[in-house]
Structures are given as structure tokens and as C-alpha cells.
Chain A
């Protein structure tokens, strides 16, 4: 039946697949998008608390047997109690922040999907130092000017470095022969920055994950963040409401549906098989006989559990987990986008998700600059304002634990903490979601749980209550687990079938720091989309081989508003 014939079928509604689905639908192709889960978002989903608990329990039961490529999520453990108000939580399986300029923002705007979500700027970024203090990270010229913690000379050197980093890096003398030098060393030698400032830059401005990250790739990343500052506000980063990436993936699915895409959630795939015999002799990709055109020939047949009809399509896009072994040979992994800005040193992540009932004090309040400026009303509070540097509770914030900042923590890697309060619309009132991420250079031994690795960080956090009468916070809920990178396709496409491959696997996303996942996903989606277009065009013999298709078509234009005269 025609209703079951599609140009492309996509399995899994993760961010990359959802963006690809939306782009293909908007380009006019008929797309069916299927997910075994009853929710959108795949491994980037935003889940209610109960859904998250189910996900955790499922992941911990299935990863109990050792498997040769380690499964994506392992060693999951959680606290027994589950707080109420489950639906008011949006817990994201891939916590991230979005740089204000970059491929994801550009896609959100160009596709029109930005209007499906709301966003909020990150309030502040802070760093933990080994004395147990938390200091705000100066991210802008204004922060540096106001800071009481940095000496005059350091202010100059820090500004000089930031100006350098934000400018054109090509052919710069400072980089001669130093591109691969560890970034922290580069900062200390070439820019004579102190240990403290070098750490602040490397771990809380450039979001390095390890001590050995090389200079040039790190600078390129840092530059992207610096250039994002000021677009929507002082912070370079946005967080989407309702768990950020899960809601955004869902928005792209919505766009796909609006353009005619069909969605099927919560169904297992029972069969994927080739519908036509594989053409072994043809090289140029053009079917020669006219008989081909008479019957509608599709490449694949797909059956789903509890679904009456067989779906047919010419192109499948999915992650390796969906590929049946019979088809493994003919899948083609889309080459990853060329940005080599990430440290290959990181092989897995330890993650914690916790719910707290108190705000964290991450921002130190500046005392009044000079006494005479205070008005008569302020005179009464002069004692309280001046005596202690009171911490102020934050809503949406990032806290960085650089290497060697916590006893029992890592000396080689930096942990980041993302805090979401009710302002991010992912928690109820007076609750905060805390995501802790620690990169690891190798799988920890079987006896070491994710909890053991992350406990020093969580414990340090729990001492940072903004309420002075509650010096130790008791978390309402905690979950710990290990995340392994998405596995690559076991056989990157063989050269024989390179052109006629109609089963595409998006490039696996590397393990990256907090601000990088969204843009990497967007770039992956774009290259997957372009490859998909090539395949679909060759199937339908369109002679537009050379015509570049934009990732997103132009939005319908607004009527020219004639209200210059209206006040």
C-alpha cells in the first residue's frame, strides 16, 4: 500500500536522527521515523523522573553480562527512594549546553524549530579550587575588571591571552611549533600565566577534559565559545527548557511530522531485509532497463512488532544497534565531520544524576566597591554585606572541578557539573537537578563502581549549600553510571558497494565536553543528510548530482510589515 512506502526509514529518534528526519522531510522526501522507546530522543531523551528510573533499572539489568563491545550505559546504580512530582522533572540522558553561535543554533533558527522550545542563558560558571572554595569564573572583560581575586598584572595577561584567542589564529607567531604542546603548558610559558589562571582558562573557559589536551585544537574550541559570548547575553551558553537536547530532538521530530513524516514509537523492529536482489554487476548506478520504472521497486522491507503492515523504503538510516547481521556488510558509515578538536584520551564517562532540595552557592557576592557610595538605606545592612562574602544560590549554572582539586578525585581529568533549577523548566520549585560528568581514560576495573569514582565530587557539592543553616545537603535521589561512546559500525562501508549503499549509519559521536555535543550532533546530521540525498537521488535517477541542497530550505517569508507609522 502506498501509505507504507517511504523514501527513507530512520530508526531511533536521537538528536542526529531527528535532525536528519526533519531535513529530509522538509526537502520533500517521505520519511518514516521509528523508535523502540515510547519516548522521543533516544540516548539524548528528556525523561520524567519515573521514566528515568525505568531507564536506569532497565540499563542496570541488561548490562549485567559482559559483552564484547561494552554496552552504552553500564554499572548503573541508584538510590532506592524516588521523590514525588515525577512529571515536573525533565532529566536528560545527555546533559549539554548550547553555544550561542554554532551549527546547532543555526539549524534551530534555519529550520524554524527554535520556536518549539524555550531557552535560558547559563547564569554563571564557577570553579572549585583545592582549598574547598568556589570562585566565579571571569568570562568577560567586565568580569575581569570587577574581580577582586586577580592581581593587576594577571588581569593584563589574561586579557592579552583572551584577545589573542578570540582573534585569527592562522600564522600566529605564538603558536609556532607549539600546536601539540599541552594547552596548560602553553598558557604558562607563552603567556606567562600563573597556575591558577591557566587552570581557569583550560578547564572552565575551554572545557578541557584532560591535562594533556593539545594547544591548537583547544584554542579553536575556546575561540568558538568566546565568539558566542554576548549574542543573547553575557554567557556564551544556552540551556533548552525541559531537559535541553531531548526537547530539541522532539522539536525536530515535530518539524518532520509537520512536513509529512510518519512517527511510530514504542515498537520493536522484528525484521529488516532486502527487498530486491543486490545488483552486483552495475557500477554506474543507473538502472538500464525501462522495466525497472514500471514497478515501484524499493530496497528494503521492514516489519514492526504489533504493526499490521510491512514498510518499504529505499534508504535506511540508523545507529549500529538496529542493524541485522545479514545486512552488516552493506551498511555505510557516514564519515565524521572533519573537526579534530577532541581529545582521544577519553574512553568513557562516569555520570551522576542527583536531585537536591537546596540551592548551591556558587557565586561569591562582591562587597560594595567603596563605602561612600552607599545610600542611607544601605547603611543599615553595611555590617552583613561587608563582613562575609556571602554565596548566592544559583539556578542554572556550571561548576568545574579541575584535575587535582578534590581529595579522592581525578588528577588527570576535569569533572563538570551542570545544575538545573526551576528556571530551566526541568525541575519543580525548590528542587535542583545536578549532573556530574567525569571523563576517564580507560574503563575502570570491574570492582570499581561509578559511584565510587564520583562520590568525592558529589560530597564536595553537598557542602555548598546557599542556606547557611543547612551546611550539609542530603540528596533526595542519586543515580550513577558509566557511559561508553556509541560504537562505530563494525564494517565501515566496503568499497564495492560504496555508491549503492542505501543503509547509512551516522558517524559515531565522540565523548566530548559539556558545550560540544550539540554542535557535533548538528554537523553529523548535516553530513548524514547530504549522504542520504545522494542515495535518494541515485535511486530516483534525478539528474541533480551536482546541485548542492541546503540543509534547511528557506523559511516562508513574512509579509512586509507596513507599520513604520504605528507607535
Chain B
């Protein structure tokens, strides 16, 4: 649905027409809130030593609503659940309570998407979901777990839709995919990374995820490695030409080159990047990458290449880099020296 309802804003700046009295009133209100919070924390902490009642549980809810980063209270809350609630509950009731916990922390996450303790609590809830509803060897034995973990994947996808570059969310995604009772096929995950990259290829996490999946699929023989690698190079070339400044593209390229293919691939890629450099002579990444790969050739295929001319080309590129990126000129000079001294015995 693309319909939009435009919200009015006051010239983009909130006009504070507060008088001194209003400011005083606001300060008093804040003081009251601070007092309330302090009292509540003290009350809860005093109970933490053995009070597993429902009252105590409700107090932790109130406290965590105000401050979800108060991780002691999350711990206490879990202890109440384990020692107070679960000991008296059937598996069905346990699952119910945990579903409620997940729902409650979902709202908390929306308000505080990067608080580690909320994510941790969710992990604990997921891992605590009991087996059921069916008996062992029945297909529904993992039913509750499957639906909880499926839902979790959905949550993580929503977070990544909102912020595709949130690496906490990508990490959590890997945790969820690994923990699912019936794991999803990796090919689907590859398609997911494709979607994210097509939406915006300036996304290191998405490329990173892709590299992990491809490694796994290649190792299992589920994908033809050579063909797949070629397709990745094709994808990369489109990204490079569209935006030569995007760092994540070049990093993925380095990884891809490193996965194999030898001298042929190295030389071919160097040529492709050189064409881009000819078209866009101020591209620092092109120069850096060409130099990087030429040095790689020198190191790994020294007997198959013209060492002198390659070294000369590297030196030329470093000179251009110094001009383009004077802030790092010392680094380029150092690299030239390293190349010059390579193979010479250390003094």
C-alpha cells in the first residue's frame, strides 16, 4: 500500500512557547518520575532474594517499562518465571506464558530496537519453549517451537526492513536461522540477500551474509562453484559501475577473488577494473584494488608474470593515489617501499 497521509509539522521546529512557570511544572513532573522510579527499583530489588510471586512479577514489568536496560531486573524476572511460574505449570501453560513474554518484548523492541537485554530475553524465551503439543515421534512434537522460531524470523525481517544495515539484526537473524527446528533451505537465504542488495547495494551486512551462504553451499556441493562465482562477478561489476565509491562492493570483490580462480580470474578482473578506471579516472577504490590485485599476482604467481613491468605499474598507481588522496600519502609511500624490499633479505 503506498497511500500516504501527510502529517503537518510546525515549520520543522517545535515552537517552545513555555513560560518559566511551565518549565518549573515540567521539572517538578520529572522529579516525581525520578522518585517513583527509585522507589520502585528499591522495592523490586528488596524482593529479588526469593520472592517469586505474581506481584513481584508485575512490579518487574512496571520497572522494565521505564528502564529496559536494567538487566538485573530481567534476570530477576526470568528467575520468577523459572522458580515461581513454571514449577506450577503444565507445558501448555509454559508455552502460553512465553508467547506473552515474546509479545510484550516485541513492543519493547519497537521502542528500543538496540537494547541487548531485550534481545537476550527473547533468546531465552525461544530456547525455553517446551516440546509439544504432540508426543515424541509425532510431527507436532516440535510444533510450538517451530511457530515461535518462525515468528522470530518474521520479527527479524521486519527489523531489517526498517533498517537493512543493522548488524545486530543480521547477527540475530543468523542465530534464528541456526536455531530453527526445521531449518530453511540456504538457497532461500541467498535469495533474501539478493533482495536486500537489489534494494540498496550499499549494505556490507547483506554482502557478508551472502559470502557465508555461498561458502556453505559450495562446500556442500549444492551450487556449481565456478558458475556461481562468475555470476557474483557479474553482479559486482554492475554494482561497481553504478557506484565505484561503495566500499562494501569492493570488500566483497576481494573476498570473491580470494575464493579461487587463480591467475586468469585475477588478470581478467584487473582488466575490468582498469576499464572502469579509464571511464572514471578519479576513482580511488579502482586504483587501490588494481594495485592490491597486481601485488597479489606478484606474490602468488611470480614465475608466471612479468615482475618488472607489474611492479612498475604498481608504483605508478601509488603515485596517482598519493595525488588523489594526499592524506594517506605516507601509507602509499610505505607500500612502495615494501614492494621494493620484497624478496630481499632482512637487514
B31 beta carbon closer than 8 Å to chain A: no
B4 beta carbon closer than 8 Å to chain A: yes
* Chain A residues bordering chain B, tally (CB within 8 A): 42
Q: What is the minimal beta-carbon distance from A313 to any residue of chain B, in angstroms?
A: 30
Q: Mark B79-98, 1 if CB is under 8 A from A, else 0.
A: 00000000000000000000
| A238 cross-chain contacts in B, Cβ below 8 A | 4
**B-contacting 9-mer, from A153-161, A354-362, A413-421:** A153-161
Q: Is the CB of B14 within 8 A of A375?
A: no
Q: Range of interface residues on chain B?
A: 35 or more
CB contact between B11 and one of A145, A157, A554 (< 8 Å): that residue: A554
Q: Is the CB of A119 within 8 A of B6?
A: yes
A219 to B107, CA, bound (A): 46
B190 beta carbon closer than 8 Å to chain A: yes
Q: What are 14 inter-chain pairs, A to B, with CB distance below 8 A?
A: A109-B7, A110-B11, A112-B8, A115-B6, A120-B2, A121-B4, A145-B243, A146-B198, A146-B238, A369-B194, A369-B231, A372-B223, A557-B17, A565-B66
List residues 291-330 of chain A with CB under 8 A from any CB of chain B.
none
Q: What is the minimal beta-carbon distance from B198 to any residue of chain A, in angstroms?
A: 6
| B217 cross-chain contacts in A, Cβ below 8 A | 372
Q: What is the minimal beta-carbon distance from A373 to any residue of chain B, in angstroms?
A: 5
Q: Is the CB of B190 within 8 A of A567?
A: no
Q: Mark B213-251, 1 if CB is under 8 A from A, else 0.
A: 000010000111000100100010111011110000000
A535 beta carbon closer than 8 Å to chain B: no
A141 beta carbon closer than 8 Å to chain B: yes
| B17 cross-chain contacts in A, Cβ below 8 A | 557
Q: Which of B8, B187, B191, B199 has the most CB of A within 10 A?
A: B8
| A118 cross-chain contacts in B, Cβ below 8 A | 3-5
When A153-B279, A376-B185, A567-B107 are in contact, do A145 and B2 touch as well, CB less than 8 Å? no
A87 beta carbon closer than 8 Å to chain B: no
Q: Is the CB of B4 within 8 A of A142?
A: no
Q: Is the CB of B2 within 8 A of A123?
A: yes
When A114-B6, A370-B231 are in contact, do A152 and B187 touch as well, CB less than 8 Å? no
When A152-B238, A376-B185 are in contact, do A555 and B8 touch as well, CB less than 8 Å? yes
A374 beta carbon closer than 8 Å to chain B: yes
- Residues of A bordering B, CB below 8 Å: 105, 108-110, 112, 114-115, 118-121, 123, 141-142, 144-146, 152-153, 155-157, 159-160, 232-233, 238, 241, 369-370, 372-376, 423, 554-555, 557, 565-567
B259 beta carbon closer than 8 Å to chain A: no
Q: Is the CB of A369 within 8 A of B235?
A: yes
Q: What is the minimal beta-carbon distance from B42 to any residue of chain A, in angstroms?
A: 19
When A145-B238, A373-B190, A374-B187 are in contact, do A120 and B3 touch as well, CB less than 8 Å? yes
When A109-B9, A373-B191, A375-B191 are in contact, do A156 and B4 touch as well, CB less than 8 Å? no
| B9 cross-chain contacts in A, Cβ below 8 A | 109
Q: Is the CB of A145 within 8 A of B231?
A: no
CB contact between A145 and one of B5, B222, B239 (< 8 Å): that residue: B239
Name 8 extra pairs, CB < 8 A, besides A120-B4, A121-B2: A142-B201, A145-B242, A155-B241, A156-B280, A369-B194, A372-B228, A555-B8, A567-B65
List residues 173-224 of chain B with CB under 8 A from any CB of chain A.
185, 187-188, 190-191, 194, 198-201, 217, 222-224
Q: What is the minimal beta-carbon distance from A235 to any residue of chain B, in angstroms?
A: 8
Q: Is the CB of B8 within 8 A of A233?
A: no
A108 to B6, CA, bound (A): 8
- Residues of B bordering A, CB below 8 Å: 2-11, 14-15, 17, 65-66, 104, 107-108, 110-111, 185, 187-188, 190-191, 194, 198-201, 217, 222-224, 228, 231, 235, 237-239, 241-244, 275-276, 279-280
Q: What is the minimal beta-carbon distance from B210 to any residue of chain A, in angstroms?
A: 10
A112 to B9, CA, bound (A): 9
CB contact between B8 and one of A114, A241, A567 (< 8 Å): that residue: A114
| B65 cross-chain contacts in A, Cβ below 8 A | 565-567
A112 to B11, CA, bound (A): 12
Q: Is the CB of B8 within 8 A of A119?
A: no
When A142-B200, A373-B194, A376-B185 are in contact, do A557 and B6 touch as well, CB less than 8 Å? no
Q: Is the CB of B280 within 8 A of A375?
A: no
Q: Is the CB of A105 within 8 A of B194?
A: no
| B280 cross-chain contacts in A, Cβ below 8 A | 156, 160
| A120 cross-chain contacts in B, Cβ below 8 A | 2-4
Q: Is the CB of B8 within 8 A of A110?
A: yes
| A123 cross-chain contacts in B, Cβ below 8 A | 2
Q: Is the CB of A567 within 8 A of B187?
A: no
| A115 cross-chain contacts in B, Cβ below 8 A | 5-6, 8
A153 to B17, CA, bound (A): 56
When A152-B237, A374-B191 are in contact, do A105 and B242 touch as well, CB less than 8 Å? no
Q: What is the minimal beta-carbon distance from B3 to any residue of chain A, in angstroms?
A: 5
A233 to B199, CA, bound (A): 12
| B223 cross-chain contacts in A, Cβ below 8 A | 372
Q: Is the CB of B8 within 8 A of A557?
A: no
A157 to B2, CA, bound (A): 31
| B237 cross-chain contacts in A, Cβ below 8 A | 152
A142 to B206, CA, bound (A): 15
| A119 cross-chain contacts in B, Cβ below 8 A | 3-6
| A156 cross-chain contacts in B, Cβ below 8 A | 241-242, 244, 276, 279-280
Task: Name B106's closest neighbour in chain A (CB-CB).
Answer: A567
Q: Is the CB of A145 within 8 A of B198?
A: yes
| B7 cross-chain contacts in A, Cβ below 8 A | 109, 114
| B104 cross-chain contacts in A, Cβ below 8 A | 567
Q: What is the minimal beta-carbon distance from B287 to any residue of chain A, in angstroms?
A: 16
| A241 cross-chain contacts in B, Cβ below 8 A | 3
When A146-B198, A160-B280, A557-B10 are in contact, do A155 and B5 touch as well, CB less than 8 Å? no
| B279 cross-chain contacts in A, Cβ below 8 A | 153, 156-157
A495 to B268, CA, bound (A): 75
Q: Is the CB of B194 within 8 A of A145?
A: no
CB contact between B2 and one of A146, A160, A233 (< 8 Å): that residue: A233
Q: Which of B4, B188, B279 has the most CB of A within 10 A?
A: B4
Q: What is the minimal beta-carbon distance from A418 to any residue of chain B, in angstroms?
A: 16
| A155 cross-chain contacts in B, Cβ below 8 A | 238, 241-242
A567 to B238, CA, bound (A): 43
| A423 cross-chain contacts in B, Cβ below 8 A | 2-3
Q: Is the CB of A109 within 8 A of B6?
A: yes
Q: Is the CB of A567 within 8 A of B2?
A: no
Task: Name A108's closest neighbour in chain B (CB-CB).
Answer: B6
| B228 cross-chain contacts in A, Cβ below 8 A | 370, 372
| B8 cross-chain contacts in A, Cβ below 8 A | 109-110, 112, 114-115, 555
